[in-house]
Chain A
Amino acid sequence: MTAEAMQSPAFANIRAESYIFDVGAPERRGIRFSKADVPEEPLDNLVPPSFQRKTLLHLPEVSERDAVGHFTRLSQLNFSIDTTMYPLGSCTMKYNPKVNDAIASLPGFSHIHPLQPVETVQGALRLLYELQGFLAEIAGMDACTLQPAAGAHGELTGMLMIRAYHESRGEHQRTIVLVPASAHGTNPATAHMCGYTVREIPSLGDGSIDLAALERALDSSVAALMLTNPNTYGRFEHHVAEANALVHRAGAQVYGDGANMNAIMGIVRPGDLGFDVLHFNTHKTFSTPHGGGGPGAGPVACRAHLTPYLPNPQVVLHEGIYRFGESPESIGRVRAFWGSFGVLVRAYVYILAHGAEGLRQISEDAVLAANYLRVQLQDLYPARFDGPCMHETLLQATRWRDAGVTALDIAKRLLDYGFHAPTMYFPLGVPEALLIEPTETESIEMLDHFVHAMRAIAQEAESDPRLVRTAPHSAPYRRFDEVAAARRPNICFPGCL
């Protein structure tokens, strides 16, 4: 198929969009307000002139129609789950049910103030209280905080709790955090942010943690091991219980990165495997919209011995009334208020929609779909490991090296076929890695389309490598020069200053 024939219908006839600052005209308005309707006093009597703005405020001046046109056209330049499959490994881009949005938009949820008296927000507090319980149950742990604003924020919260725990026992010498080579970059960055020194633990040939190396690294200077399970190779860490026991024997704690929880819900609980603390990413596991980067939520579950260190406050039920409870040993707040409430409402609705069996079905279907893709692609894109994968499969685009076609080229060519790119070059150290996670919400027909596209691209890489190397051809834009962009950054419209 030629590039011309691969015109993605989503982008037919779409041109670049002007800057909002170039639309409109002085004094044009999108909205007006009435007068203050109180006795007129000179402004200078209310606020000293020295505090008043003297510099001009360079904001857009547009009609509502201009603004709506602009932002609607911008939206049409995006891929999204509503329009496109995202085979994006470790990101779990599943479908986001619309009922979640409808419910989060109810005024009884979206227009309540965080500092209202608790008797006026019992419904909201009950929701948070129950969600704390659901997530602790799914994690196999004893308690849960809903405060963290994202997965990485959850990591920070969990590691601060571990640090507070060791300090409460007078173990100030524990300054090392162990992180497997395959971990997400946030793990070492989080440990560093908490004041720890990071030591990397190698992975074995099958992607699992090297137990012997772990045992050698463990001593009384180690505060924690941070472990993602299933790991970023899409494999279940089958020695996880032994690894966690070794860590505990050395007096350290095990932090669980729950990024891949979509593979194991209702099948196994991290708490039962010996994890002490675990964060969830609600936008991965519980279908809350990714929003082009956020808002997210990163609830953190923990076992009883870490519960006193959870961020303040927790929602508690006391004499039939839901209220906020504080612990004197808490690490403190990790954000101004109680959590990304609008996001948490969606996660709560999603869990209630499924129940125990439904959540297990999600994980089983996610694993099934990933393996279905694996077996149909591994002749052209060899799998990094033999045997079944979990919810994502790690393939390699090494076959076309001589033709100069890389994993990046394959991924960009997928955009022409109407699929988002898979995760590439991750985990680190796997040549031409393509990490593919279809999730449980794509139909078998869509999975077949994806297989067809991947196989067609493999053929193009043989017959017309240039076509693949120069992709995409039918997206609104071609590949960008990101190096030049970073060298001389233009990050603010010049007219705004």
Chain B
Amino acid sequence: MSYTPHTSEDRLRMLSAIGASEVADLLAVIPGAERSEPLRLPQPLTELELQRHLRSLAEQNRHTLQLSSFLGGGAYSHFIPAAIPALSLRGEFATSYTPYQPEVSQGTLQAMYEFQSMVCALTGLEAANASVYDGATALAEATVMARNITGRDIIVVPRSLHAHYLSVLHSYRVPLRIVGDSIFPHFLFDLASGPSALDASVAAVVVPSPNTFGRLEDWCRFAELAHAVGALLIAVFYPIALGLLESPGACGADIAVAEGQPLGIPVSFGGPSLGIMATRQRYLRHLPGRIAGVAVDRDGKEGFVLTLRAREQDIRRDRASSNICTNQSLLALQAAMYLSLLGPQGLHEVAEICLRRAHYLAQRITSLPGFTLMEGPFFNEFVVRCPIAAEELAQRLLPYGILAGIPLGRWFPELADCLLICVTELNTRQDLDDYVSCLERLGL
């Protein structure tokens, strides 16, 4: 299959206009172009063959619409209204370029502005960008911001931060002070465990809520502690939960970041994903990434442009604080559609269903002998300590078509008997009861 439209006749016409006898004349400057060997790649396929081959590959995957999935851990399956894929696959959105020409890009720009506004509404902060790569890179960018704002170096993170996020911070060479432990059953970020954790070298404290164990943390308390030493609070949030839970902004957070995938975007094996970032108005000029703003055209008509470009790498080059030169526009659009379709009540409803069903399942599982629940408030994800290794438990539930949860031993070796279970509105009451019956049938 090929998408180049040129016939041999077309190519001859172009060559003759150029005054070349063959394409090789145009490539003469490339060393070895003449004698280059063909790439070792499979033979080309027609569209029909492509569809067959890829369908067979897809069928070798067992997907979450077939299985009963209780997997979360940073990627969350939620219901996606049909209008979202129908609209976001429109070529005018999907195949448009970065909106550098605002006169012919108002669709993308207005959607970005509306997305930013909805992020501000959710987070209770006044300034949001039009998104970055994913939740983990949003956090890495937030730590750079905090270090630039405060002129300090150290970022304090809890051990209850998602292991993959922690790895990304290490890769980005962020100077970290890791605090707390992961001892069952509390999973609390305990700053008191290291009395010297907060001092005048600290740029920011990172507080995920829910944390990687699903437990809710008290942002308000951390905001007070951080601000008392002149540090910022970076809150990591779960966007669906904010339908029901208080916003990071109202709790005193200075920067809030999240993985936006739960907002109408399929899990798609973990990507593409949507990094959400918001901050206080006074830190706006430290915020990296694309931002859409209102502008007026020559006729006095109000529209939108990419604004505050002077912060960006194409202008500041090596003086830019981030090299990011893109956003996840199409996914930001999907999130904006999701939040528009649900509205404040819909988001509250989804959050409440997740919360209630998760608590129901937690209570049912831990009424079985040998299972204990972690302590403290949670939203839709929780840890149970199992009578056998969690890895083995998950393996034994797989034949029943149940993805039981994430065995925590892979991230915290001391928690090998702990399973992280996630419940969303996609898990029906029947699914929850079946999960419990299967556990009973295992007779542990």
Are A120 and B61 within 8 A (Cβ)? yes
Which residues of the partner chain B approach A332 to less than 8 Å between Cβ atoms? 167-168, 170-171
User: Which listed residue (A95, A117, A491) contacts B307, Cβ 8 A?
Assistant: A491
User: Which listed residue (B2, B28, B269, B322) contacts A109, Cβ 8 A?
Assistant: B269
Asked if A107 meets B30 with Cβ closer than 8 Å, knowing A441-B5, A472-B103, the reply is no
Interface centre among A115, A289, A412 (most CB of B within 10 A): A115
Is A12 an interface residue when CB atoms closer than 8 A count as contact?
A: no
Is A459 an interface residue when CB atoms closer than 8 A count as contact?
A: no
User: Which listed residue (B28, B98, B346, B394) contacts A293, Cβ 8 A?
Assistant: B98
Are B120 and A492 within 8 A (Cβ)? yes
Chain A residues 397 to 442 lying within 8 A of chain B, measured CB to CB, are: 411-412, 415, 420-421, 440-442
Which residues of the partner chain B approach A245 to less than 8 Å between Cβ atoms? none
Are A101 and B341 within 8 A (Cβ)? no
A475 to B11, CA, bound (A): 34
Q: Please, which residue of chain B has its CB at the minimum distance from the CB of A489?
A: B293
Q: Which of B134-142, B145-153, B196-204 contacts its partner?
A: B134-142
Question: Interface residue tally of chain A, by bracket?
Answer: 35 or more
Are B39 and A365 within 8 A (Cβ)? no
Q: Please, which residue of chain A has its CB at the minimum distance from the CB of B306?
A: A482
Chain A residues 331 to 376 lying within 8 A of chain B, measured CB to CB, are: 331-343, 345, 349, 351-362, 364-365, 367-369, 371-372, 374-376
Q: Please, which residue of chain B has its CB at the minimum distance from the CB of A126?
A: B57
Which residues of the partner chain B approach A294 to less than 8 Å between Cβ atoms? 131, 133, 272, 326-331
Which residues of the partner chain A approach B6 to less than 8 Å between Cβ atoms? 365, 368, 440, 443-444
Which residues of the partner chain A approach B25 to less than 8 Å between Cβ atoms? 388
A78 to B102, CA, bound (A): 9
Asked if A356 meets B41 with Cβ closer than 8 Å, knowing A123-B61, A152-B323, A480-B102, the reply is yes
> Per-residue CB proximity of B354-393 to A under 8 Å, as 1/0?
0111011000000000000000010100000000000000
Number of B interface residues in the complex (CB < 8 A):
203
Q: Please, which residue of chain A has its CB at the minimum distance from the CB of B66?
A: A107
Shortest A470–chain B CB gap in Å is 7
> Per-residue CB proximity of B92-112 to A under 8 Å, as 1/0?
111111111111111110110
Are B307 and A357 within 8 A (Cβ)? no
User: Which listed residue (B29, B41, B45, B269) contacts A124, Cβ 8 A?
Assistant: B269
A156 to B377, CA, bound (A): 39
Chain B residues 73 to 88 lying within 8 A of chain A, measured CB to CB, are: 73-75, 77, 79, 81, 83, 85-87
Asked if A74 meets B271 with Cβ closer than 8 Å, knowing A479-B298, A485-B293, A486-B307, the reply is no
Are B313 and A189 within 8 A (Cβ)? yes
Are B216 and A47 within 8 A (Cβ)? yes
Which residues of the partner chain B approach A193 to less than 8 Å between Cβ atoms? 321-323
Shortest A55–chain B CB gap in Å is 5
Is A137 an interface residue when CB atoms closer than 8 A count as contact?
A: yes
Are B307 and A482 within 8 A (Cβ)? yes
User: Which listed residue (A33, A338, A492) contacts B127, Cβ 8 A?
Assistant: A492
Are A359 and B303 within 8 A (Cβ)? no
Which residues of the partner chain B approach A317 to less than 8 Å between Cβ atoms? none
User: Which listed residue (B4, B347, B377) contacts A48, Cβ 8 A?
Assistant: B377
Which residues of the partner chain A approach B57 to less than 8 Å between Cβ atoms? 108, 123-124, 126-127
Chain A residues 136 to 178 lying within 8 A of chain B, measured CB to CB, are: 137-138, 149-153, 155-156, 160
Which residues of the partner chain B approach A304 to less than 8 Å between Cβ atoms? none
Are B97 and A93 within 8 A (Cβ)? yes
Which residues of the partner chain A approach B184 to less than 8 Å between Cβ atoms? none
Q: Which of A19-27, A209-217, A247-255 contacts its partner?
A: A19-27
Which residues of the partner chain A approach B40 to less than 8 Å between Cβ atoms? 137, 356
Asked if A375 meets B120 with Cβ closer than 8 Å, knowing A152-B326, A353-B44, the reply is no
> Per-residue CB proximity of B51-71 to A under 8 Å, as 1/0?
101111111111111010101
- List 30 A-B pairs, Cβ < 8 Å: A33-B349, A47-B355, A51-B245, A53-B247, A61-B344, A62-B341, A138-B39, A151-B326, A186-B314, A189-B320, A290-B96, A291-B96, A293-B97, A294-B329, A332-B170, A336-B164, A345-B54, A351-B41, A353-B3, A354-B1, A357-B38, A411-B101, A421-B101, A441-B3, A476-B106, A476-B303, A477-B102, A478-B299, A478-B301, A490-B294
**Top 9 closest A-B pairs, CB basis?**
A337-B270, A108-B58, A82-B91, A114-B270, A123-B60, A30-B341, A291-B330, A295-B272, A355-B44
Known contacts A20-B114, A79-B97, A486-B308; 6 further A-B pairs (Cβ under 8 A): A47-B377, A71-B111, A78-B107, A82-B95, A372-B18, A491-B292
